[in-house]
Amino acid sequence: MTKRAPLCNLTSRTATEGMPDQPTRLEQKFMQVSKVSFGLDVRFMVFSGTLEKWEKDLAHDTAELFVRIVERVRALDPVHTRKWFDDLVVARLDAGILEVACPNEAAAQFLEDNCLSVFTQAAQHATGHLVAIRFVVNQAAGATPSLAVDPSAVRLHPDYTFESFVVGPCNRLAHASCIAVSHSPGNTYNPLFVYGAVGLGKTHLLHAVCHGVRKDTPDIRIQFLSCEEFVNRFITAIEQGLLAEFQSQFRTVDVLVIDDVQFLSEREQSQEEFFHTFNAIYNNHRQIILTADCAPGEIPAIEERLISRFKWGLVARLDAPSYETRVAIVQKKARLRGIDIGDEVAEYIAGKVIANIRELEGALTIIYATAQAAGEPINLQLARQALGRQQAETRKGVSITEIIDAVTRFYDVRLADLQSKRRSQSIALPRQVCMYLARNLTRHSLEEIGGHLGGRDHSTVLHAYGKIDELRRTDPQTRGQIDQLIAAIRPE
């Protein structure tokens, strides 16, 4: 097997050249690190120069190695690539574990949740060895990096801050109210209710508020979850006889953030519990922030007393972004990912994609991936080629809503089931069929498709597509079901 050169400036010597019978303490340490971390069969090797120079050489070479790792990550996963990857540094390389220091906890959580696998793959490719990756939070100079992710902590997206939010006429009120709440939780606009269609920035604003509150008050108690998760935890608490613990957990927080509160619809017992939770937090002068896809009065099958409370504070609507706002969004998203695009490319994307922000991100991802595959810079011609081919491969006139309606009728399941976390075959198969049909029959991005089906990420949609595509080719029953659904969705 070919041996890799060591990562520092070393020269070999043999016993005939006057080497002592036993290696020095430092040589023993290097032999141990080399053997464990890189699989090198090292016997006697000494460094040229002092200990400080050895450490400096190792740090320098490890940094070069990490640059190659990050470059490969960018190529393998354009969806999750971010400009701030340039700020990542190697904290330590020991016993086959490469510790990557992140600028803050949110960045570490993002990498742990979305990029651990691709970083590990890239590191193993760059080193040729089974290197593991661990993300840690970079501390002040001279301090030891701390282990990154606290499982009990609120997991905030590092991209979703007020600084990265593009303000326009479509969202100015919602943005301003969220900033006000972040500076004075519990005292301004309580509750704050933000509503709008899918992909217009509701979740971004929720994360931004939490980032702002944490910055001002690091030890503040926040509960941030989807309404579906709130309901599921409530049900679990009842089943396990832990209702008192559940109520204590949610009624004593400083900030309660619930996404997609319309999920309470037709859940009478959950509405009752949420009503009392709302009252307890409000009466304690703590902050409540809610989002939904429609105004409070338009949420179906929900108690009037809850609707009334949703309106107590401020209700702010998010509209679809204008052309100028879409151009600014594309430019900011590109900078965030470290993608170099000109004004004409941003204007072209904004002119082609008008539905929502997630589709703008999806279009940017398609263009970036096309450029990476072709090894060409991003220009208007390449953007037209990438988005033109995407549009040509999809059929117009079909929406995800139509697909979901057809699938729920065909398999006799509810939309709430498809959006839930249930993984039983009776629910998982229709959900995967929805994803497969949506990718084939619409021009929605993978993220957009996943967003309609419980907020699932692009990798889940890709897995579902691959599974159903394989079944359609190998299983006559599945092929017949897919053909029936396509005929129902797109009647000739």
In a domain, 158, yes or no: no
Residue 161 lies in a domain: no
Q: Does 191 or 127 have the greater pLDDT score?
A: 191
**What CATH number has the domain bearing residue 311?**
3.40.50.300
The answer on 270 and 338 residing in a single domain is no
Please tell me whether residues 42 and 144 are part of one structural domain: yes
CA–CA dist 249, 255 (Å, integer) = 12
pLDDT in tens, 193-220: 999 887 889 999 999 999 999 988 888 9
Q: Are residues 379 and 305 in the same domain?
A: no
Tally of domains within the chain: 4
For range 93-118, the mean pLDDT: 85
Mean pLDDT along residues 460-480: 84
In 3-state terms the chain splits into helix, strand, coil percentages (rounded to 5) of 55, 10, 35
Q: Are residues 66 and 134 in the same domain?
A: yes
CA 317 to chain centre: 24
Note whether 299 and 439 are same-domain residues: no
d(CA 119, CA 100): 10
pLDDT at 139 over 50: yes
In this prediction, residue 395 has a pLDDT band, given cuts at 50, 70 and 90, of very low
Query: Which amino acid is located at 454 in the chain?
Result: G
Kindly state whether residues 213 and 308 are assigned to the same domain.
Answer: yes
pLDDT (tens digit per residue) in 278-289: 999 999 999 999
Q: Does the residue 223 lie in any domain?
A: yes
The pLDDT confidence band at residue 60, using thresholds 50, 70 and 90, is: low
Pair (292, 241) in one structural domain: yes
Q: How far is CA 407 from the centre of its chain?
A: 27
- Asked if residue 51 is part of any domain, the answer here is yes
> For position 374, what pLDDT does the model report?
83
How does residue 475 score in pLDDT terms, banded at 50, 70 and 90? confident
> How many C-beta atoms surround the C-beta of residue 414 within 10 A?
11
Does 14 have pLDDT greater than 70?
Answer: no
Q: Is the torsion defined by CA of 185, 187, 190, 194 positive or negative?
A: negative
> What's residue 74's pLDDT?
84
Q: What is the CATH number of the domain that holds 483?
A: 1.10.1750.10
Residues 189 and 276 in one domain: yes
At 259, list the tokens.
Answer: 């996404």
Residues 128 and 54 in one domain: yes
What's the confidence (pLDDT) of residue 323?
Answer: 86
pLDDT > 90: what percent of the chain? 29
Q: pLDDT, tens digit, for every residue of 342-378? A: 899 999 898 888 767 888 888 888 898 888 888 888 8
Residues near 377 by beta carbon (within 8 Å), at least 6 away in sequence: 340, 371
Q: Are 320 and 355 in contact (CB under 8 A)?
A: yes
Among 139, 210, 200, which Cα is nearest to 171's?
200
Contacts of 298 (CB under 8 A, 6+ apart): none
The residue among 388, 408, 423 that closes a domain is 388
Residue 217 CA, chain-centre distance (Å), reads: 24
Evaluate whether residue 437 is within a structural domain.
yes
- Domain assignment of residue 347, yes or no: yes
Residue 296 lies in a domain: yes
Please tell me whether residues 144 and 2 are part of one structural domain: yes
The 3-state DSSP class for residue 112 equals helix
pTM recorded for the entire structure? 0.62
Q: Are residues 279 and 241 in the same domain?
A: yes
CATH of the domain at 86: 3.30.300.180
Does 163 fall in a domain?
A: no
* Gap between the Cα atoms of 455 and 205, Å rounded: 16
Question: What range defines the domain where residue 58 resides?
Answer: 1-153
Contact 29, 54 (CB under 8 A): no
For residues 143 and 183, state if they share a domain. no
